[in-house]
């Protein structure tokens, strides 16, 4: 179990969509205009940040705690709690407000 996983996700996961978009632009530019594709690929340095941040976080002391794990029943309970919490938020946000009327 990782003790710094949340920190890693906060620092890295937010840049995944940006990096995908930048690589898409670079790929299309490479197919359309190969001589200038390097200029379009230059902003893709986001991947370097992501790799460096992951390496730095993995070198932190106690980044991985040994002999700590979840049992299958505990994992199932956690999933049930997460689904119930999500459903409660959904039904609070979108309450059923339908009106039943008689059309006769």
**88: exposed, middle or buried (Cβ count in 10 Å: 0-12, 13-18, 19+):** exposed
Tell me: pLDDT of 100 over 80: no
76: pLDDT confidence band, cut at 50, 70 and 90?
very high
Percent of the chain with pLDDT over 90: 15
Q: What is the pLDDT of residues 27-42, one digit of tens each?
A: 888 888 888 877 877 7
* CB distance 22 to 44 below 8 Å: yes
Compute the Cα dihedral for 6, 9, 12, 15 and give only its sign: negative
Q: For the residues 31-54, what does the mean pLDDT come to?
A: 82
Give the mean pLDDT of 47-67: 81
């Amino acid at each position: 179990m990782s003790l710094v996983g949340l920190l890693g996700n906060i620092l890295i996961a937010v840049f995944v969509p940006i990096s995908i978009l930048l690589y898409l632009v670079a790929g299309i530019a490479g197919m359309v205009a190969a001589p200038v594709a390097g200029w379009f690929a230059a902003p893709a340095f986001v991947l370097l940040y992501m790799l460096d941040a992951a390496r730095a976080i993995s070198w932190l002391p106690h980044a991985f705690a040994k002999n700590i794990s979840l049992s299958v029943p505990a994992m199932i309970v956690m999933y049930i709690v997460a689904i119930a919490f999500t459903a409660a938020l959904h039904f609070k946000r979108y309450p059923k407000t339908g009106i039943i009327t008689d059309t006769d």
